[in-house]
Structure 1
Amino acid sequence: MKKIVYSLIILLFLVTISISTASKVHASEDKLTIYVLTKKNVQDNVFKKMIENYTRTDVVYEVPEIGLYQVTGSQEELKKLVSHNNIVKNHTLNTTKNSHKTLVNAQTTNNQNINIPKWQDLQWDISRLTSNGENFITKSNNNNTTVAIIDSGVNNHPDLKEALNISKNLVPKGGNNGQEELETGDISFHSDFLGHGTMLAGQMASNGFSKGLYPGLKINSYRVFGSESAESIWVIKGIIEAAKDDSDVINLSLIEYISRGDNINEHGQIDSTDKIKYEAYERAINYAKSNGSILVTSIGNQSLNLKDKTQIYKYWKDINPSLSTNRKIYAVPASFKDVVSVGSINHENIISNFSNYNSADIYTYGGDNRLVDSIGSEEYISNRMFEKEWILALSPQGGYTYSFGTSLSAAKVSAIAAAIIEKNNYKDKPDLTERALYNMTNGNKDKLLLELQ
């Protein structure tokens, strides 16, 4: 067999990413930026007309379809604005500033030359799901089924030729807290700095040296992560935009932990940030489903039992030390009933040691790191043991990388959901698509998605 010498960058990348919170103070102490959530029956033009009455306030980011806005202004003017109870349902004036960084771990060794006779030797996950390549999903000539990836963008890659259908940047100028200098705010700016979105696209649509489950699938990319992290409102905007663009499947390989109710900050004040975000996510998901999209989400890489309230609260408290609540904490958006939540299993069909659990609707291959924990990283890398349990994925530089995470599992399920829609003419029928997807586990009590038929 002819061997191809290929340069491969090995990257350990924890590939479910988290989201920063949004209420913050700008450089000028007199200026605040807050969330405002209007009542459901309030039209956008009504809210905007009200804003005009306050000369020192401006809308800086908006999702008018669900009544979610970021508004900047003086504390005095904002206080008057949010007092309109007939229009404003909730707001985040006088809340605690929090900034959660993206959860990314990276370990790199450069330019290792390896012999690659065929893709099956490295993509054990795709090989198993497709019966060694016999059951790849194939696209009909007359169908326009698309999957939206709401993530860090998707770079051009040799294995993704003609896969990108729509690309929109939803990160505003300056990015998170105005600190990301590379963020221009241009809707056409689409560089994937984190590499996460490019990886997801590869799991779905790669059709080159590496293979995705659905080679050639059309991808709609909505860039909501900048060079560091994202704000919840950008992600929510992405859900709305994907639905408006008639995306059949919306992939959300991201997670954040939020309370459904008000929290109390260190000064004893009510902090409504979580409460607003929870309802905004709920409105966005309902909007997308009512427009015919099925939403697929990852359940997170924190090894948490998502039915253990104490464990989830402790994790939330560790990243929100200045807040307290007596309300249940949710892993969002995976916890919503109108999404398909996906966890990870390893090469032995066991729940991966990083994967959250006791919440997923479906589990499929996302890798593992049990072996590296047992033998150590030096032997693991030098003897190429990572090939046994990590997942080959696309790197944003145009090469390849090894990764693991529930994000990769969710991407695979998104591709399969697209195939179900196309095969059965289930466009705009998310409930039927979801039912067919669950049927693919063949009644497996562990809900494992092991092989395409």
Structure 2
Amino acid sequence: MIKKIISIICLFTIIIGLTVFPSVSSATAETDDIHTLLIKDTKNFEDIVTYVKGHLAEGPIQEVKEIGLISYEGKSINNINLPDVISSAIEEQGSLPKTKVETDNEDFQLDGILKEDFAKNNWYIQDVTHNFDSFNIETGDNVKIALIDSGLDVNHPYLKDNIDLQKARSFVEGDKNLNDEFGHGTSVAGVIKSIAPHIKIVPYKVIGKTDGESLWTIQAIIQAANDGTDVINLSLGTYKSKTLQDEKVTIKAYKKAIQYAKSKGITVVASSGNDHYNLDLLKQNEKKYHLPGGLPQLITVGSSMKDDTLAPYSNFGKKVDFIAPTGYLGKNYDKTGEIDIRDFIITTFPTNKENTALDKLAEIPNGYTLSFGTSLAAPQVSATAALIIAKYQDVHQKKPNEAQVSNYLKRGAIDLGPKGKDIYFGYGKINAYNSLLSIK
């Protein structure tokens, strides 16, 4: 067999599987231009806003009253003698991190199996739906998933009938269209529809061409909650460790936003990340947190291989609740450096973007891509949660609460590894068919 050596720089099939990470900066809170305040009691919110506008801000400010968050460009409150009524009202202050999808630049060796029927890369759908049997029970009618991501190809032929643009919105500064210039959101949406064919997807754009702001993600969570969506999917994240001060404000801001969504009865799902970190030891050893995936307020999802082993990139730990099958470059890739495309999954990709080099060699049609990663694991759980909500409403004539949705996910999960919940697979591999059968 003739082997082809190909250098693929910034290969999207790797990018799309990666969780979103922050850009790294050595600046301290005193030298940052953008500052964030969290207010203890929202009853005092307007008073604090007035003070910030008059004494600290040097331009427009961003307000998220639901969680008492104020973000502004201007003076830091460090080393400033604030009035007691102002200083006592501030719970935390610091700077929120940027979010950025980082790339892996590698040389990949393709092993000559590229001409196989790409439909075989739907193996994850067969796995999660029990050979499509779940479609005979529920398909997700009248349920909405908030896709907080890089936008969406709203004209994609596979997705267009599932997209709800009534509440859709871009939070990216200076970019109010929903076009998916990166491609990540479109791929996540394809996974959602593959599990829940009749679901409605509401896009909230928080990532531009290269990166985004944590503030935009937090704003989108609040907006999705106020818009009455049923599930929020967060296939992105950040590692936050610049300073203790910034760390506290970032963690609390995410926690408050997610708790606000939960108070509205919304199930929030996030990816665990792709660095093979033990999330339990991340703070202890690396002085880092992974956010929002890994927070106890939401459902955190890791990735498994085709053979039900933990994917070598997937973060793990006690904070991981479930895993979902997303594959990898090939089960022997780490040993031989050879790619086996049968271990990838296939999903949607913007039709106005050129296919990746690997997709071209594999003869993948325009509008689709081969990929893997925890970014594609979270939407499998989000879609299954949506199916549970739809089925429960059919049976009980009311919407289940977030705890009930989580319980049905657990009932349906296939236990892998040590019996019961473990640090690698959580409660097990998600299974939509089993979860739907458990609803009586």
Match of 1:214 among 170, 176, 196: 196
Q: 1:253 maps to what in 2?
A: 235
Taking a change above 3 Å as real, the CA distance of residues 55 and 358 of structure 1, as seen in their structure-2 partners, is closer
Please say if 1:452 is aligned against 2:433.
yes
SS where residue 238 of structure 2 aligns?
strand
Structure 1 residues not aligned, in runs of 5+: 1-8, 174-183, 206-211, 265-270, 317-328
Structure 2 residues not aligned, in runs of 5+: 1-10, 352-365, 420-424, 435-440
Instruction: Answer with 74-83 or 226-235: which moved more.
Output: 74-83
Please say if 1:131 is aligned against 2:112.
no
SS where residue 308 of structure 1 aligns?
helix
Contact 2:22 2:239 in 1 (8 A): no
Taking a change above 3 Å as real, the CA distance of residues 252 and 38 of structure 1, as seen in their structure-2 partners, is same
Taking a change above 3 Å as real, the CA distance of residues 152 and 55 of structure 1, as seen in their structure-2 partners, is closer
Q: 1:172 maps to what in 2?
A: 173
Please say if 1:420 is aligned against 2:418.
no
Aligned residue identity for 2:433: L
Give the RMSD, CA atoms, in angstroms: 3.4
Kindly state the Cα deviation for residue 74 of structure 1 after the two structures are TM-superposed: 4.5
Q: 1:347 maps to what in 2?
A: 306
SS where residue 162 of structure 1 aligns?
helix
After superposition, what is the alpha-carbon deviation per residue over 1:386-444, rounded to whole angstroms, capped at 9, x for unaligned?
A: 1x211111112351111110111111010000000010126261111111111111555
SS where residue 69 of structure 1 aligns?
strand
Match of 1:196 among 179, 184, 201: 184
Taking a change above 3 Å as real, the CA distance of residues 126 and 30 of structure 1, as seen in their structure-2 partners, is closer
After superposition, what is the alpha-carbon deviation per residue over 1:173-221, rounded to whole angstroms, capped at 9, x for unaligned?
A: 2xxxxxxxxxx3x3xx11212211111100011xxxxxx0111310011
Taking a change above 3 Å as real, the CA distance of residues 250 and 78 of structure 1, as seen in their structure-2 partners, is farther
Contact 1:22 1:232 in 2 (8 A): no
Taking a change above 3 Å as real, the CA distance of residues 339 and 82 of structure 1, as seen in their structure-2 partners, is farther
Kindly state the Cα deviation for residue 372 of structure 1 after the two structures are TM-superposed: 2.4
Match of 2:270 among 274, 283, 297: 297
Q: 2:437 maps to what in 1?
A: none
Aligned residue identity for 2:151: G
Q: Aligned partners of 2:238, 2:384: CA distance in 1, in Å? A: 25
Q: 1:32 maps to what in 2?
A: 33
Please say if 1:407 is aligned against 2:375.
yes
Instruction: Answer with 15-24 or 223-232: which moved more.
Output: 15-24
Aligned residue identity for 1:276: V
- Note the 1:43-442 alignment, pairs <5 A: 43-54=44-55, 57-74=58-75, 79=80, 84-92=86-94, 101-105=100-104, 119=119, 121-136=120-135, 143-156=141-154, 157-166=156-165, 167-173=168-174, 184=175, 186=176, 189-205=177-193, 212-258=194-240, 272-309=245-282, 312-316=283-287, 329-359=288-318, 360-369=320-329, 370-377=331-338, 380=339, 385-386=340-341, 388-397=342-351, 399-425=367-393, 427=399, 429-441=401-413
Taking a change above 3 Å as real, the CA distance of residues 73 and 255 of structure 1, as seen in their structure-2 partners, is closer
Kindly state the Cα deviation for residue 34 of structure 1 after the two structures are TM-superposed: 1.2
SS where residue 317 of structure 2 aligns?
coil
Aligned residue identity for 2:334: D
Q: Aligned partners of 2:228, 2:371: CA distance in 1, in Å? A: 30
Q: Aligned partners of 2:83, 2:209: CA distance in 1, in Å? A: 33
Contact 1:15 1:104 in 2 (8 A): no
- TM-score normalized by the length of structure 2: 0.78
Identity between Structure 1 and Structure 2 (%): 28
Contact 1:19 1:231 in 2 (8 A): no
Q: Aligned partners of 2:295, 2:262: CA distance in 1, in Å? A: 12
SS where residue 212 of structure 2 aligns?
coil
SS where residue 246 of structure 1 aligns?
coil
SS where residue 235 of structure 1 aligns?
helix
Taking a change above 3 Å as real, the CA distance of residues 65 and 399 of structure 1, as seen in their structure-2 partners, is same
Kindly state the Cα deviation for residue 104 of structure 1 after the two structures are TM-superposed: 2.8
Instruction: Answer with 358-367 or 125-134: which moved more.
Output: 125-134
- TM-score normalized by the length of structure 1: 0.76
After superposition, what is the alpha-carbon deviation per residue over 1:256-305, rounded to whole angstroms, capped at 9, x for unaligned?
A: 2336xxx75xxxxxx51111011111111110000110111111100112
Kindly state the Cα deviation for residue 113 of structure 1 after the two structures are TM-superposed: 13
Contact 1:13 1:404 in 2 (8 A): no
Contact 1:129 1:451 in 2 (8 A): yes
After superposition, what is the alpha-carbon deviation per residue over 1:136-160, rounded to whole angstroms, capped at 9, x for unaligned?
A: 376579x521111111111121110
Q: Aligned partners of 2:322, 2:190: CA distance in 1, in Å? A: 20
Contact 1:51 1:58 in 2 (8 A): no
